[in-house]
Amino acid sequence: MTPVTPVVEGRAIVRDYHVPGSMLRRAKTVRAVKGIDFSVQKGKTLAIVGESGSGKSTLARIIALIDAPSEGELLIDGQRVDIAASRPGPALRSKVQMVFQNPYGSLNPRQKIGDVLTEPLVINTDVPAAERRDRARAMLQKVGLMPEHYNRYPHMFSGGQRQRIAIARALMLNPSLLVLDEPVSALDLSVQAQVLNLLADLQDEMGLTYVFVSHDLSVVRYIADEVMVISEGEAVEQGPREAIFANPTHPYTRQLFAATPVTDVDAIRARVARRKAARQGAEGWDKLNVVATKGKSDARLHQARRPGGDGPRRRGPNPRRGGHADRR
């Protein structure tokens, strides 16, 4: 049986950054990605998981042909790609597209949505203007928006709608690989679900391959086929989603999973019940304290009214005014 060529493959990918020195410190080289291997088959999703600063977004930028690796090889459809030696042409750019984290910053506020969507076609193809407009309107409908949104500006849309527009822009060149860097982390939970469902539908319909970067394990569990866990630039664990979530073997993976908030419904209900009981107990103690305080006050007042008790004294004459005592 002939082996299937992966859509994207990385071999010992390394990325170094040079930090210039100063009068107080020496120059140094920081290795953000340390020899990572991976491959993704057509129609599958590789999720890259790790805490902030682990190197997952750096690896995503290398896969998206934005940054070149310092060492190692990147292959797209079996062909070695080296953007440090030569800039990628329109054909290669059409194969790989990226969706960024912030839907508010990834769109030009001065461009109408139609111009945002047709710009990749203007740069990379010779498609006539009329056909570009038709493709853009059709893509708006594909991502759940309306054709009349073509002439509107980004500020007129919600965060979820803007991310749909960003996805539509990435799909205008009909890519085979989509790199998604935290695409739903800036959205509300209900909107996150809508965008994730859209991505799943588009993958089934268009046969897309995803590299999905996220720190949210619940999102990863929903969308991923393969999971790669990165810590300090190293891939510490990699495998099928079910195996990683059922039996993580690396201590860092177990620690990462343990730090994830529990989303089990029964656990949430139990926690709410405990908080409610604690509040009711606190309210009961407050009532007892009020009753006890009132009882002490009544006892003092009764003592003051008894004969010979320390009752309230009459005011004497005011020496400053030379007045007389109050007469009652």
For residue 90, what are the CA distances in angstroms to 3, 87, 296?
28, 10, 87
Task: Write the DSSP symbol of residue 208.
Answer: -
- pLDDT tens, residue order, the chain (328 aa): 667 899 999 999 999 999 998 888 899 999 999 999 999 999 999 999 998 889 999 999 999 999 999 999 999 999 999 999 988 888 999 999 999 888 888 889 999 999 999 999 999 999 999 999 999 999 999 999 999 999 999 999 998 999 999 999 999 999 999 999 999 887 888 888 899 999 999 999 999 999 999 988 889 999 999 999 999 999 999 999 999 999 999 999 999 888 876 544 455 466 667 777 777 776 666 666 655 665 655 555 556 555 555 555 555 555 555 555 444 4
Spacing of C-alpha 269 from chain mean position: 25
> Which helix or strand (DSSP H or E) is residue 244 part of?
helix 241-246
pTM of this structure: 0.77
